[in-house]
Amino acid sequence: MKFDKVFGIHEQALQVRARRAELLAANLSNADTPGYKARDLDFRSILKGEMQPGVQLAATRPGHIAPSSGPVPGQELKYRIPQQPSLDGNTVEAEREQVEYSANAVRYQASLRFLNGTIRTLKTAIKGTAQ
């Protein structure tokens, strides 16, 4: 049994949601910083990229291929376009960031609940076959 098949895309989803929570928190903490540009990522496009099989590279020596920078490469980060730009150049809209942060947290919890349910089901199945 391959656990990546059992858990599906939820492992990657949790990593991307955690990274997004960091970005949104940074936006909120810099709401009063002049010139700060709000950043976000496109969750769907990143996850879609994770679902498509990528090209597997082979290295003949250690260090040929640099390790991944994590679930969200820097080029995936986007600047948020404000609905009401401020005079000091800051693009953070606190209300919008709070809504995005809350929605992201709820979706993160949903993925955790799914994973917990899947693990509980696997444990029940393993106990049933052991008897």
pLDDT band at 89 (very low <50, low <70, confident <90, very high): very high
Place of tokens 């049933």: 128
Dihedral sign for Cα 14, 15, 21, 27, please.
Answer: negative
Q: Is residue 56 part of a domain?
A: no
What's the rounded Cα separation, in Å, for the pair 91 and 35? 8
Exposure on the CB side of residue 94, measured as CA atoms within 13 A: 6
What's the whole-number mean pLDDT along residues 99-118?
94
pLDDT tens digits along 3-34: 667 777 888 889 999 999 999 999 999 999 99
The tokens for 127 are 């106990």
Residue 59 belongs to a domain: no
Reading the block at residue 118, the tokens are: 């899947």
In a domain, residue 62? The reply is: no
In a domain, 13, yes or no: yes
In the chain, what are the helix, strand and coil shares in percent, each to the nearest 5? 55, 5, 40
- For the chain, the domain total comes to 1
- High-pLDDT (> 90) share of the chain, %: 48
Whether 60 is covered by a domain: the verdict is no
User: Is residue 83 in some structural domain?
Assistant: yes
> pLDDT band for position 129 (50/70/90)?
confident
CA distances (Å), origin 103, targets 23, 24, 90 = 14, 11, 23
Average pLDDT (65-69) is 51
Residue 1 forms part of a structural domain = no
Domain span at residue 78 reads: 8-51+70-130
